[in-house]
Amino acid sequence: MVDKAELSIKIGRLSILIPNQLESHKNRLTLRGSMKFSLLKNRIFWLNLAFWVLFFSYKFYDFTVFMSPWVAFVRIGLPMFFHIILSYAHYFFILPDLLRTKKILPYLSKLVPTIAVVMFFQVITENAVLSQFTSSDYYEHFGWVRFVSTLWDQMSFMIFTGMIKFAADWFEIQNKKKELENQKLNAELNYLKAQINPHFLFNTLHNLNYLSQSKSDHATEVIIKLSNIMRYMIYESNKPNVVLSKEIAYIRDYLDLEGLRLNHKFDIQFDVSQVDTAIEIAPLILIPFVENAFKHGVSDKHPDSWVHIKLSSKSDRLEFNVENSIIAPVLNNEKSGFGLINLKKRLALSYPERHRLEINQSNETYSVSLKLDIE
């Protein structure tokens, strides 16, 4: 026996559980996006580091052929130090303004003084340090040749690291676009899935209220099966795929609840004898057809009503067939549970170019055949 107080507590727990699970799913999406962004940043760091290490290694190997390792280290490392300063001053502080504002004059007004200052300190440092390691007077004077050579080196490294910045920003934009597209698809899928819930839950809770008032032993059974259905909707429906055995169990619970709702015993068959229950499908993709069959095919006013459901699989294909008697006209624009239009949208999103849906109607029967190509 189930009293109203116990029933209210159980329903209240379900109402609290649903928003908590939705918030948890939202947090998982946010964390996933942050992890992708962090991974991209780490790859950029290692790409920059690898470039400078390879450049230094190549030059060091080349220079040690005709000078000592210490002299080679100083002659390569000192100019490279100033190349790094200019390159990443441009990378982090100057180039982002150009990318954001798309204005060349403010960009040049920052870039030219920065190059001049870095080059000034580079020349002074080289004159003081590198002149001790060579008999040439190259580092004792600053002529046109040295100016062009130093500027060329600075600009080359600055442009190369700037190209990395352009590439990194492009990939970041593409990742964000892809993430937004995925979120949009997930939002649309979740919206379409949600369309099956209200009508069925309303009827079930109404029947549960009636059973509890009449002190029926079936009330406990209804609560258990409704809990199973709600658990499946909350924990499994947000997943891209679920094992078919869970979807079958969900449909069985739905059929049992419908059987408790109806006063007569009808010819309701659910054949899963020829299906591989280990394959995976999109959740809640089959139940709309079953809902539709009960809405238009079964009524206590028509004791001879019937619904036949068959689920089978062959290699990489899943076939789902639902056939029912017709007790009310089936209109194309009528929304029954999920609605045919919404269902077609879900199939297009979950199985693009990998599904075939056939609907046939005669004066007495209505049949649906769905074929899914399973990866």
User: Among 63, 78, 177, 181, which residue's Cα sits nearest to residue 123?
Assistant: 78
Confidence of residue 188 (pLDDT cuts 50, 70, 90): low
Encoded tokens for 212: 């509890």
Strand 267-274, strand 306-314: pairing = parallel
Over the stretch 205-242, which tens digit does the pLDDT of each residue have?
A: 776 776 777 666 777 888 888 888 888 887 887 788 99
Beta-carbon contacts of 36 under 8 Å, excluding residues fewer than 6 positions away, are: 175, 179
- For the chain, count helices (H), then strands (E): 10, 7
User: Among 350, 321, 336, which residue's Cα sits nearest to residue 242?
Assistant: 350
| Mean residue pLDDT across the chain | 81
State phi, psi for 269 to the nearest 5 degrees.
Answer: -120, 140
Over the stretch 260-282, which tens digit does the pLDDT of each residue have?
A: 777 778 889 999 999 999 999 99
User: Are the C-beta atoms of 26 and 190 separated by less than 8 Å?
Assistant: no
Each domain of the chain, given as residue ranges in start order, spans: 27-186, 200-373
More confident call, 336 vs 253: 253
Give me the percent of the chain exceeding a pLDDT of 90. Answer: 35
The Cα 370–Cα 125 span in angstroms is: 77
Q: How far is CA 118 from the centre of its chain?
A: 45
User: Are the C-beta atoms of 107 and 56 separated by less than 8 Å?
Assistant: no
Confidence of residue 18 (pLDDT cuts 50, 70, 90): very low
The Cα 328–Cα 296 span in angstroms is: 6
> 200-373 belongs to which CATH class?
alpha beta
Based on its alpha-carbon atoms, the radius of gyration of the chain, rounded to whole angstroms, reads 35
Give residue 102's identity as a one-letter amino acid code: K
Highest mean pLDDT among 37-46, 129-138, 189-198: 129-138
The Cα 111–Cα 93 span in angstroms is: 10
